[in-house]
Structure 1
Amino acid sequence: MSQKSLQNYIPALTGVRALAAYLVFVSHFGYVFDEYFPHSVQRFFREFHIGVTIFFVLSGFLIAFRYYDNFSLNKDWFKKYLKNRVARIYPMYAILTLGAFVYYFFSHDQSIVAGTGHPVLMFLMNITFIRGFFDQLKFTGIAQGWSLTVEECFYFSAPFMFYFAKKYGKPYLQPFMITGFGFLLVLMFRNLNWYGFFGNFTFLMLFTFLGRCFEFFTGIMLALYIRKNGLANNHKFKFTYLGFVLIFVCVWIMSVLPVLPGLAFGQQHPLGIITNNYLLAISIAIFFYGLITEDGTVLKRILSNKFVELLGKSSYIFYLIHLGYVYNMLNFSVNWLNDAVFKLYDQWGVDWVSPFQNEQLNLLYLFVVLNGIAIILFKNIEEPVNHYIRKSDFLVKNKSHHPENATAIKVD
């Protein structure tokens, strides 16, 4: 594979982050439009949590593409690797998590501490990602941040996965061995009433790295295939479109599965778990393969657009703020504006329509504002802090040359 091809920049892989974040947004707030759609369509939109799987497959691809050929388990390499991972993920998560608990101090929103009455303990468990191992605590702090516990577990595990793959071969066995270990943990702890620590198999398969490792593994295998075969487009078949269609076939499958008592998604059905964790991951990998190797497709042009690329770069922040205290405060502000407008109309003695009285329009307003906030925070905090940490002597002294910068498909 040529050095030129290795240094190609694939903006579509950045743009796809925005697609993933917006799918999750629709999954959380699509109910606002329920009155306009039949039940089958409502169920379809509810399964758009697939954005999380897109993030996981993409992470597996990027980490393997950057590090598989140059990783080392020595102390200095591991410190540099962790430094780059911390710079990318941790600053904004820490800032926004701190904001969640400041919000709790004033609002006493019990969802932030899961009604435990232990805000300091919950803050420590959130800031260290530990809460993601407990079924009853996974949605504390920034609720959607549970997925970062999964990401961090992958980051720590990836070098060891690479080591065993090179040393013993048969890497396809790894995800099943890892998930098997997770099954043993559930059997050990499911009768222990400790906030649901590996408390059941559904939690294991949907909310932990041990259950969702195949999604990362699928990205890893795609990266290894592309490293071996290059980026050249030697096929006439459009894998971009095939993968995209298959992704939504998986969504449809989950949307028609029965929702089990006490649960909310078809994804939580045993067949839904298989579809989400395995079939969907493979479909996403096919989609990514097309985006990386094919030119001229409509989807690649859209996802490569400069503005969509910017939305992709800021999508991590959008993901962290689209649900929870930031959204709640914005929604409260919109409702306050609506009341203020009607008070003004009363003073004027007119019976006009408020621009903030329609719930569907309000959601669109908030979607735009959340993106605006995400872009501002990305430009002024996330990106500068990321660069500062990478150039600093945190964990390991900075060197001007990083292997990942010379050999990776750059995404952000």
Structure 2
Amino acid sequence: MNKLKYRSDIDGLRAIAVLSVVWYHAFPEYFKGGYIGVDIFFVISGFLISGIIFENLEKNKFSFREFYTRRIIRIFPALLLVFLFSLFVGWLTLLPGEFEQLGKHISGGASFISNFILWNESGYFDNIAETKPLLHLWSLAVEEQFYIIWPLLLFFTWKFRFNKFFLILVILLISFCINLYLLSKDPSGTFYLPFSRFWELLIGSFLAYVIFYNKLNSDKYNGYLEKFNLKFFANILSLIGIILISYGLYSITKISEFPGYLALYPTLGAMLIILSGQISWIGQRVLSNPIFVWIGLISYPLYLWHWPLLSFARIIEDGTPNNMIIYTAVLLSILLSWVTFKFIEKPLRNSNDKGKKAILLIILMVIIGAIGYAIFIKNGIPDRFVKQQGVMNIFAKPRTAVNSYECNKWVPELQNVEFKNGFCMLSKNQAPTILFIGDSHMSQYQSSIWNNFSSESVMMIVKHYCLPFSSNHSMRGECKENFDSIIKLIEENKTIKKIYMTGYWSFLMTGGSAESGTRWRTSLPVMDDVASSFKKHGENLISTILNANKEVVFIKDIPDLNFDIQSCYDMRPFRLTAKRNRDACYLDYNEYKDRVTQYDNVINDILNKYSDVKVYDPRHIFCRENKCYASDEKLPYYENGDHLNDLASDMVIKDMINTLK
């Protein structure tokens, strides 16, 4: 198979893409849109791969065997090294639950289905991105899934003389529409799934088609504009491309609705820069600069190496490591990338017997994947750390099991209503008299409610992200349907006399998400339009309850921690710096109050309109003398940053019952 003529400006564009991603991962507070570098990679990849396929199809030299052999030689070696490194460091440093997840991600990464695994994990209870050393492999999985499908489609289109331009355009538009449609239905799916991402690679394919089928020879493949020497026009296009990418880096953040229309900034920007070719000043003087080219050459191993190093540093340090560690991780990733490229990737690409080497690499990848899966099914091999077993068992203790019954039999108003990412349960096999609604900040109380309301038939409805009410940001699709079902239930049901509601109010109010990495760490601002929609839905729910002559109890939220509860205990087997376990397991009350005042004000604005609503605030249980405690002298109150364990949940429910007598 023939290869396209080398273009140094494309390596320079790769450098911009990878540096954006690395800098974003290292210092996300300063480079908020850096993750769009992945979208630039997609365009470059679609352009180069499609160009190679077009050229070899037209010369009748295309070979599936050789195509996939080259992909394996290109992708597998550096990836295997990163897997081995992650296994070694994970064995030494990760707690059982963390190592179990790493094993699953290695297995998924080795089979190139990481994007589906991460999509399945994403949600309310997902741990934040920084604690997943192989999170970045989702994009590699999308590319490889594209490489499985796209050569086959192009081959059969060429074989049967179908219109390739029409094929590219139709699939590109369908994928882009899927991306727009899913964004409101399943934001995580839109981000991770291949069919909502293929359009980005197809932008590169579209450009490759336009250039190649304008009758350019392979040795003139530097760009359509170069053929006609339109240097001025090339400069304009490359400048627009840089502006689009720069605007995306500046304006897009991790809480933006992405990809959607916003992904057009990096993808169209990359397309224009590639189109302008090396005759533009930016392509010739900037992107073809030796430093940019060198970084572009090591961009693939650099993408693979940098994130595990940064992620392991954050895990080991139980939070954000100091700047010295971050800078060291970045520099080490560059060094490892150069070593990988110089001594492994390059020799393999230039070697003979690529077919045999590809088979060996496949066998090694299968073995690594099997090892990862074995770690996953062995629950992270907890016997590695004997000294930490006692403390780890505290956090591994499951919640108290309670007998529950399905709602449908006794609540006809909810027939055919499904609470995905949640549940509807009864404490007794009879019609309910009390209703508890909320998200996981309600379900954390379930066992205690079942025990302390034993004389009542209690119904609990839980829907993560959504209930008891949210802002317009989340109140759509299934969430809106479930909310409307709750309204109907309240209006029509005659057996329920009292309704309790609680939720992770700051999360519901702002539309925060686990994927954004904001939970337990930072506070999102409450925008006026978001607060307005949140109030509207809350007032609608409370008014409906009161108009139905039912009592309302509004439960305010518990303090959410800005540190890992496990850092209160000596669990971490290895650290980069001195022992960092907290001397005292508490929040500073004034800092906490400053952080949540904006949310409390919105809640109080709602409650001040309803004098008949009973309000219970559990924070006095945990906060006293300007401190909000996360544990007693021996045992923790929390199982993670914002959910109580059974010990503290029981304290809250018993106190609420006594307070509201």
The two structures share one fold, judged by TM-score above 0.5: yes
Contact 1:18 1:312 in 2 (8 A): yes
Matches within 5 A, 1:384-403: 384-388=347-351, 391-394=354-357
Match among 337, 341, 363 for residue 378 of structure 1: 341
Match among 148, 151, 155 for residue 159 of structure 1: 151
Q: 1:47 to 1:159 in 2, by over 3 A?
A: same
Report the Cα distance in structure 2 between the residues aligned to 1:377 and 1:293, rounded to whole angstroms. Answer: 28
Matches within 5 A, 1:86-125: 86-108=72-94, 117=100, 120-125=103-108
Q: What corresponds to 2:256 in structure 1?
A: 266
Q: 1:165 to 1:221 in 2, by over 3 A?
A: farther
Report the Cα distance in structure 2 between the residues aligned to 1:118 and 1:252, rounded to whole angstroms. Answer: 33
Structure 2 unaligned spans of 5+:
123-128, 217-222, 360-661
Report the Cα distance in structure 1 between the residues aligned to 2:246 and 2:102, rounded to whole angstroms. Answer: 40
Count of residue pairs brought into register by the alignment: 327
Contact 1:57 1:218 in 2 (8 A): yes
1:27 aligns with 2:14: no
Report the Cα distance in structure 2 between the residues aligned to 1:332 and 1:124, rounded to whole angstroms. Answer: 22
Q: How many percent identity over aligned positions?
A: 21
Contact 2:309 2:329 in 1 (8 A): no
Q: What corresponds to 2:51 in structure 1?
A: 65
Q: 1:53 to 1:119 in 2, by over 3 A?
A: closer
Q: 1:96 to 1:326 in 2, by over 3 A?
A: farther
Q: What corresponds to 2:397 in structure 1?
A: none
Instruction: Give the drift of 1:17.
Output: 1.5
Q: 1:364 to 1:181 in 2, by over 3 A?
A: closer
Instruction: Give the drift of 1:241.
Output: 1.1
Instruction: Give the drift of 1:65.
Output: 1.0
Report the Cα distance in structure 1 between the residues aligned to 2:346 and 2:90, rounded to whole angstroms. Answer: 27
Task: String of CA shifts for 1:37-73, please: whole Å, max 9, x gaps.
Answer: xxxxx4xx2111111011100000001111123249x
Report the Cα distance in structure 2 between the residues aligned to 1:323 and 1:385, rounded to whole angstroms. Answer: 24
Report the Cα distance in structure 2 between the residues aligned to 1:294 and 1:111, rounded to whole angstroms. Answer: 53
Instruction: Give the drift of 1:375.
Output: 0.8
1:126 aligns with 2:109: yes
Contact 2:133 2:307 in 1 (8 A): no
Q: 1:122 to 1:253 in 2, by over 3 A?
A: closer
Secondary structure, aligned partner of 1:133: helix
Contact 2:32 2:250 in 1 (8 A): no
Q: What corresponds to 1:194 in structure 2?
A: none
1:228 aligns with 2:230: no
Instruction: Give the drift of 1:22.
Output: 0.7
Q: 1:361 to 1:288 in 2, by over 3 A?
A: farther
Q: 1:388 to 1:327 in 2, by over 3 A?
A: farther
Contact 2:73 2:358 in 1 (8 A): no
- Amino acid in structure 2 at the alignment position of 1:132: N
Instruction: Give the drift of 1:83.
Output: 0.4
Higher percent of residues as helix: 1
Contact 1:206 1:273 in 2 (8 A): no
Matches within 5 A, 1:24-63: 24-31=21-28, 34=29, 42=30, 45-63=31-49
1:144 aligns with 2:136: yes
Contact 1:24 1:52 in 2 (8 A): yes
TM-score where L is the length of structure 1: 0.68
Secondary structure, aligned partner of 2:213: helix
Contact 1:101 1:141 in 2 (8 A): no
Q: 1:324 to 1:393 in 2, by over 3 A?
A: closer
Report the Cα distance in structure 1 between the residues aligned to 2:352 and 2:13, rounded to whole angstroms. Answer: 26
Secondary structure, aligned partner of 2:34: coil
Contact 1:56 1:151 in 2 (8 A): yes
Secondary structure, aligned partner of 1:143: coil
Q: 1:286 to 1:143 in 2, by over 3 A?
A: same
Instruction: Give the drift of 1:146.
Output: 1.2
Matches within 5 A, 1:127-276: 127-134=110-117, 135-137=119-121, 140=132, 142-163=134-155, 166=158, 167-169=161-163, 170-171=166-167, 172-178=169-175, 201-229=186-214, 230=216, 231=223, 232-235=227-230, 236-237=232-233, 238=235, 239-255=237-253, 264-268=254-258, 273-276=260-263
- Amino acid in structure 1 at the alignment position of 2:17: A
Contact 2:138 2:192 in 1 (8 A): yes
Secondary structure, aligned partner of 2:153: helix
Structure 1 unaligned spans of 5+:
35-41, 187-197, 256-263, 334-357, 397-412
Report the Cα distance in structure 1 between the residues aligned to 2:4 and 2:20, rounded to whole angstroms. Answer: 29
- Amino acid in structure 1 at the alignment position of 2:300: Y
Instruction: Give the drift of 1:316.
Output: 1.1
Contact 1:28 1:46 in 2 (8 A): no
1:317 aligns with 2:312: no
Instruction: Give the drift of 1:311.
Output: 1.7
Report the Cα distance in structure 1 between the residues aligned to 2:4 and 2:106, rounded to whole angstroms. Answer: 41
Q: What corresponds to 1:285 in structure 2?
A: 271
Q: 1:96 to 1:372 in 2, by over 3 A?
A: same
Report the Cα distance in structure 2 between the residues aligned to 1:183 and 1:247, rounded to whole angstroms. Answer: 20
Instruction: Give the drift of 1:28.
Output: 1.5
Q: 1:88 to 1:390 in 2, by over 3 A?
A: farther
Contact 1:126 1:141 in 2 (8 A): no
Q: 1:286 to 1:332 in 2, by over 3 A?
A: same
- Amino acid in structure 2 at the alignment position of 1:219: G
Report the Cα distance in structure 2 between the residues aligned to 1:65 and 1:112, rounded to whole angstroms. Answer: 42
Q: What corresponds to 2:9 in structure 1?
A: 12
Task: String of CA shifts for 1:120-148, please: whole Å, max 9, x gaps.
Answer: 55432221122321214587552211111
Report the Cα distance in structure 1 between the residues aligned to 2:71 and 2:14, rounded to whole angstroms. Answer: 17
**CA RMSD, 1 decimal:** 3.7
